[in-house]
Structure 1
């Protein structure tokens, strides 16, 4: 992809972040990139892996999470503040993308109930294990890594299974038969003086190969983490903000699917 095209797309992504509350149209974004809207859409998808509309929606929902954690504004006010004209549309999109409703997200964060139960595997199916190693660059510094199995390539909602690591090492995910996408994100660990829920932008992200599992077998999919770029879609799942600072091997760890 030509450097000029990447510069143009990054410029419009910055506009999305800075003006996400406005009714930005595809035509306006394409004009900012000095492209036709058809060429802009194609180049945007080639660079980011998704459409301009989906990217803008992800930014709006990410900012909604921040408002829910950091302000006392009502869910209705927040929906308008991040660019939605309908509370119903905002609530349904937030729930689908984050995995829980805006009200429950705020409730769990404020009431000290960070533990989430992930979807259980179907009882009439054998479950398989997807395992592998998370590889973290030596220059990354301290991080907490969330690695999970999703049924789509997009990292959003509650995953089928999740594991949490404090460093490079092996992970284990338990999933039913199907096609699974292994995704990982690393964020800065909680600071002792500020243990409460807060938005933590990923420092590193990574993907394993898609894995089609069946019959209670063990499959492998290693993940190499890399630095986040402006072209990466914001991660919308409820973790890591609702995951407390406690270690995963304590008495009340983050629940994962079995």
Structure 2
């Protein structure tokens, strides 16, 4: 999927590559990765689209075709729903929108009952200037968080005014320190149940370099992106 994302891969194609039946492949893949093969393939395609939007001058139409979409409208709609902004907005962000660490309440709902979420972030082989922790409705770090915070380093965190429901907690390192290798990082826990007026506790959230089974990160909060110099 990571090598042939532009092709119209089917479940049969993927199972054949793994030399197992499609039913066994679907069951084991979903259990190990946490999402279905189809969902994983969609995430891989959109992650490549993010890279092309930020690092190349290709048009949205050209990028849509390169990542396996037959319709630019379908691509733009899926990108916007999953990343949290349109392809054009994302390109502008990558090309100079000023990062912001303010507005922790920007994506929270002020209606309905809320609870809170307590936990601790640790780092496994990752040195970072700070960490992002957010609450999402998906096992994939995508879209906009229901609540989020940043930490100056590994340690405890508290998320206030988390809407009641079942949530996934995702963490990411915000910039690496001297002597640390660049590359993606991630940590996830969930689903966790948040109840009205109560403090739910999250298992320790360990941020590390992801392996093959970790879907790419798709959310696009401004301070999670590194603007690309133009010119």
Using the size of structure 1 for normalisation, the TM-score is 0.75
Change over 3 Å in CA distance of 1:101–1:33 after alignment to 2: same
Q: Is the aligned partner of 1:151 residue 2:116? A: no
Deviation at 1:81, TM superposition (A): 0.9
Q: Cα distance, 1:209 vs. partner?
A: 6.0
**Matched residue, 1:25:** 10
Unaligned ranges ≥5, structure 1: 1-15, 192-199, 246-258
2:196: which partner in 1? 214
Please point out which of 57, 65, 68 is paired with 2:53. 68
1:1-258 alignment runs, 5 A limit:
16-115=1-100, 118-122=106-110, 124-125=111-112, 127-137=114-124, 139-142=125-128, 144-174=130-160, 175-186=162-173, 188-189=175-176, 201-207=183-189, 210-215=192-197, 217-225=198-206, 226-239=208-221, 242-243=224-225
Verify the 8 A CA contact 2:5 2:68 in the aligned structure 1.
yes
Q: Please state how far the C-alpha of 1:126 moved relative to its aligned partner.
A: 5.0
Q: CA RMSD in A?
A: 2.6
Q: Secondary structure at the match of 1:135?
A: strand
State the alpha-carbon separation in 1 of the partners of residues 44 and 202 from structure 2.
29
- Contact kept, 8 Å, 1:150 with 1:160, in 2: the verdict is yes
Q: Quick one: structure 1 residues 27 and 42, their matched pair in 2 at CA, closer, same or farther if it must change by over 3 Å? A: same
TM-aligned CA deviation for residue 145 of structure 1: 2.1
Q: SS in structure 2 opposite 1:210? A: strand
Change (3 A) 1:121 1:130: same
CA distance in 1, matches of 2:53, 2:112: 38
Per the normalisation by structure 2, the TM-score is: 0.82
Partners of 2:64 and 2:127 lie apart in 1 by 36
Distance apart, 1:86 and its partner CA: 0.7
Structure 1 residues 50 and 170, CA gap change in structure 2 (3 angstroms):
same
- The residue aligned with 1:252 is none
In 1, Cα distance between the equivalents of 2:203 and 2:21? 40
Structure 2 stretches of 5 or more lacking a match?
none
State the shift of 1:242 in Å: 4.7
Structure 1: distance between partners of 2:21 and 2:223 = 39
